[in-house]
Amino acid sequence: MSKQKKPDQVVFNEATQNYDAALKPYATNVGAPAIEVTDATTWKNKNIYKANKQIQAKYLELKAEYDKMMDELAYNNLVYNARFNFEPIIGETYHLYKDKNDEPFLSIIAPKDCNFNYVGSFYLNSEQLWKKTQN
């Protein structure tokens, strides 16, 4: 079989030896509208801005949560390293003070009932974690 050159406007598939213009996902007619690539720059920039804002907001939420956890860690270390001569009960609030030597100690006495150097009040939760209470 001799190869015969087909005109440019004819869509002939050499591999299948068929005319397959109707099977193409694009227009093959000379009179068909031109395929133009749309400019997606505006869409990209708008969505990049939105994505960056969303990621930044999530980062700030995570950072705030991290800072809160670090505060809780510092409070737990402060209370657990304080001096106390009793076994704290879960669900109770205790008060942290500093003595004459600036050493922390834990007490059941409320700040309004004494003249100690008050540091803060802490609640022992069910997970054995000290949570600072609002004064």
Residue 1, pLDDT score:
45
For the question of whether the overall pTM of this predicted structure is more than 0.75, the answer is no
The alpha carbon of residue 6 and the mean position of all alpha carbons in its chain are separated, in whole angstroms, by 60
Buried b (16+ CB within 10 A) or exposed e, 19-44: eeeeeeeeeeeeeeeeeeeeeeeeee
The whole-number pLDDT of residue 46 equals 92
**Torsion, Cα of 102, 103, 109, 115 (10° steps):** -10
DSSP H helical segments within 1-135, as ranges?
A: 41-80
Divide the 135 residues of the chain into consecutive groups of 10 and give the mean pLDDT of each group: 64 80 75 79 92 97 97 94 94 94 93 91 94 84
CA-wise closest residue to 79 among 15, 126, 128: 128
pLDDT of residue 3: 66
